[in-house]
Amino acid sequence: MQSENTKLSTAWLFKMAWRDSRKNRSRLLLFISSIVLGIAALVAVYSFKDNLQRDIDNQAKELTGADLIIESRKAITPKRQLILDSLGEERSKEKSFASMVYFVKNGGNRLIQIKALEGNYPYYGNIETQPAIAAKSFQQGKDALVDQTLLLQYDAKVGDSVKIGEVTFKIAGSLIKAPGQTGISTTVAPIVYIPLKYLDETALLKVGSRVNYKFFYRFKNPNTVDEFVKKNENAFEIEGLSADTVASKKEETGRSFKDVSRFLALSGFIALLLGCVGVGSAIHVYIQEKLSAIATLRCLGLKAWQAFLIYLIQIFFIGLIAAVIGCVLGTLIQFLLPIVLKDFLPVTITMQVSWSAVAQGILLGLVISVLFALPSLLSVRKISPLNAIRASVEHGKRKFDPLQGIVYGLMFLFILGFTYLQMRGWIQTVVFTVGIAIAFGLLIAFSKLLMFLVRKLLPQSLSYVWRQGFANLYRPNNQTLMLTVSIGLATAFIATLFFVQGILINRVTLSAGSNQPNMVLFDIQNTQKESLAKLTKDYKLPLMNQVPIITMRIEEINGKKASGDSTDRGAFRGEIRATYQDTLTAAEKIVDGKWLGKVGENGEVRISLDQLYARRINVKVNDKIVFNVQGMLIPTVVGSLREVNWGRLQTNFRVVFPSGVLEDAPQFHVLMTRVPSSEVSAKYQGAVVKSFPNISVIDLDLVLKLLDEILDKIGFVIRFMAGFSMVTGWVVLISAVLTSKNQRIKESILLRTMGASRKQILSINAIEYFFLGALAATAGLILALSGSWALARFSFEANFVPPLGATLILLLGVILMVVVTGILSTRSILNQPPLKILRNEGN
């Protein structure tokens, strides 16, 4: 009997939930629509991640182009070369380095990445060129494949010539894509392929040139490759070689994109959290409006938990609908993500519906809509039947509801748990969660403070329309807090992004300063030093910094050689570029020990190390280090540690020798100068490349342009994700305005009955929305300005000057959006006669 009653009762609860929602479904859907975009963003990111992982798995061979790639940053010993030449069934090799390219037709020149290739690499996939045949044929003659963007930039075409070092190559093809290459990597360093057999003829490789050696292999039985690599891991390590296989490349690419996916998912999650605030607030108002109906049902014998369940069922199903809409939208949006991320993707993405992403989206939508509606839903249990006979019921002192406490705890755990799933690290999780909590807390505090101030300081002398407009900000059931949080957070998100981009650009621009060098020339040989200095003076350019650079390795630290133990490998493995000088530069400051500019009388060489580098290789003052300088062993003592300002545009070194030791060692030089204009820069660069083809030039203008381009590309991705938060904020705004529509109808009826004109009511609403928008945008901008200042001060160590114009435009933009949305949403109230609205009220 009991079970039959329970069953009957459950069915009735569903029926009642259905009936009760009749007149409110569109409104409920609107409340829940706040989470649709958040769900959509997450489903899009999850689907994209699944598709990307699948495509990386499927295209891993095309990504590496070979079964095995062995890489080295230093020249291979003949003995090792013999071994490397015996591996695999097919072999190719490549030497790559930075150098200048000179376009013969128009004299244009630019720093590029040269790839000198020999063999049939890639064995899987292909080098995409236009015409396609060029990828195969360029090795037959003195031909080059030149990056397509570079061709466009320098107005060159297939058939034209480029000079690289001493050799002029015919452009055989426009390079579209090489294995594993991404759009962003070619932005930083455009690639030019030349045949390896002509590399020596170019005469580009000199002392100190930074060359990357790569050996590509195809194996008859590729399954043995991973085992081979594992077996030879130690030998490779000692020789300074690294090995990449299809499996390791797959893992590495997947890992790097996991980080991107996590970032994107967290951006989507912020939009979802904003939506949750909207849901929570809207459901609160919804339940307030249902108070009388719930009280009546309680009078008729409905139990407290049954009343709670009726509304829980409604929220569950509406949440389900919102989640499904979010999933559909997200599945569609995922098709945009490859376009947004195209410059970062190494594989071609084939988009498919990811059912696991859809399932996650639905589950997330359900959990989040129910969880964030629960605080308001739980209050349904406390609605007294007395509300049916009294307009207001005195509750006395409100008691703490333990269930509410549990729900708030669950919310916190949910945010923490979800963040952890994205971050996979507790420190980052806690930092993100606490960061979000602080942002929410600050916005709430700011909103409450302003409401308090408006209430206390509102001058009574103001006209009625103004007073009413202001008073609406703190009236019962106002949406001020919720809107400040949602719109403020969205504004903060977008503004911070914009400010940080500005800080980074400014930092590089400022580092150029009017007295700072803006052009760096490197790979200068001893024999070229004087002639280049003369050429520079001929162009009336200053010689701001001329520094010798010597390449060396650490052989021993305190009598200890490289043992193969992984803890000290870092110190011994890397190649060091050091200099010698007798005085410190402005960017250097001694923090420990004493700097001696010359070799001691006893012949002791006291060197100085960058303090961070010393810490990394675990060395302190008075420790002994033996360096291997091109085969010659030089014993030294650490005489001092320096703090180096790496932010300055000048040559800085981890290891500095005193003068009197390295003067005769094989070395190259770096020269810095300042060019007054882009015209002089182009002429000077042209002359340098013509006279000294091996010398590379870095133009700060180009660096700035590149940085701007890269930040723009990254910024576009971030703006795309932040857009979800912006639109969610806007949906929350519409939802909030419509939520309070009933209350506004009552007010408008009263005002119109008492003779208020349409214009007056419109003005009251406009004033309210104007200050709401101003409040939310100001709160968001304050948050963004503080955050950007903190980032500039502590992370980028730069000055932050807020861009006033842009800040003002953003402020006005948000205000305009809020006012227009608010006025448009309440316009229907004004267009109808009071009586008609009176009859329809409660619908």
Partner 1 sequence: MENILNIRNVSKIYQSAGSALTVLNQINFSITKGATVAITGPSGSGKTTLLGLCAGLDSATNGTVELNGIALENLNEDQRANVRNQNIGFIFQNFQLLPTLTALENVMVPMELRGAKNIKKHALELLDKVGLSDRSHHYPIQLSGGEQQRVSLARAFSNQPAILFADEPTGNLDAETSEKITKLLFDLNKDASTTLVIVTHDLELAAKTSRTIKIKGGVIIADQSNNVI
Binding site for partner 1 (CB under 8 A): 5, 8-9, 12, 15-16, 19-24, 292-293, 295-305, 384-386, 388-390, 394, 396-397, 839-840, 842-843
Residue 311 CB, nearest distance to partner 1 (Å)?
12
Contact 551, 575 (CB under 8 A): yes
Complex with partner 1: residue 397 or 399, whichever CB lies closer:
397
Task: DSSP for 203-232, please give it.
Answer: T---TT---EEEEEEE-SSGGGHHHHHHHT
Contact 665, 547 (CB under 8 A): no
Residue 28 CB, nearest distance to partner 1 (Å)?
12
Complex with partner 1: residue 300 or 804, whichever CB lies closer:
300
Contacts for 610-615: CB closer than 8 Å, 24+ residues apart: 610/641, 610/642, 610/644, 610/652, 610/653, 610/654, 610/655, 611/641, 611/642, 611/643, 611/644, 612/644, 613/654, 613/655, 614/638, 614/641
Is the CA virtual torsion 170, 172, 175, 176 positive or negative?
Answer: positive
Residue 501 CB, nearest distance to partner 1 (Å)?
51
Distance CA 808, CA 302 (A): 55
Residue 306 CB, nearest distance to partner 1 (Å)?
8
Residue 791 CB, nearest distance to partner 1 (Å)?
49
Distance CA 318, CA 263 (A): 29
Complex with partner 1: residue 221 or 843, whichever CB lies closer:
843
Complex with partner 1: residue 389 or 413, whichever CB lies closer:
389
Ranges assigned E (strand) in 526-677: 545-557, 560-561, 576-580, 588-593, 606-610, 624-629, 632-644, 655-657, 668-673
Complex with partner 1: residue 5 or 86, whichever CB lies closer:
5
Residue 302 CB, nearest distance to partner 1 (Å)?
6
Residue 10 CB, nearest distance to partner 1 (Å)?
11
Complex with partner 1: residue 527 or 843, whichever CB lies closer:
843
Distance CA 91, CA 196 (A): 14
Complex with partner 1: residue 389 or 806, whichever CB lies closer:
389
Distance CA 453, CA 708 (A): 42
Nearest C-alpha neighbor of 65 from the set 125, 108, 107: 125
Complex with partner 1: residue 23 or 705, whichever CB lies closer:
23
Distance CA 169, CA 194 (A): 8
CB atoms within 10 A of CB 247: 14
Q: How far apart are the first and last CA of the chain?
A: 39
Q: How far is CA 704 from the centre of its chain?
A: 19
Write down the residue that tokens 């420990």 correspond to: 592
Q: Torsions phi, psi of 227, nearest 5?
A: -65, -40
Q: Find the angle CA(148)-CA(151)-CA(152) to the nearest 5 degrees.
A: 90
Residue 295 CB, nearest distance to partner 1 (Å)?
8
Complex with partner 1: residue 377 or 547, whichever CB lies closer:
377
Complex with partner 1: residue 295 or 689, whichever CB lies closer:
295
Residue 36 CB, nearest distance to partner 1 (Å)?
24
Residue 474 CB, nearest distance to partner 1 (Å)?
22
Nearest C-alpha neighbor of 738 from the set 824, 838, 835: 824
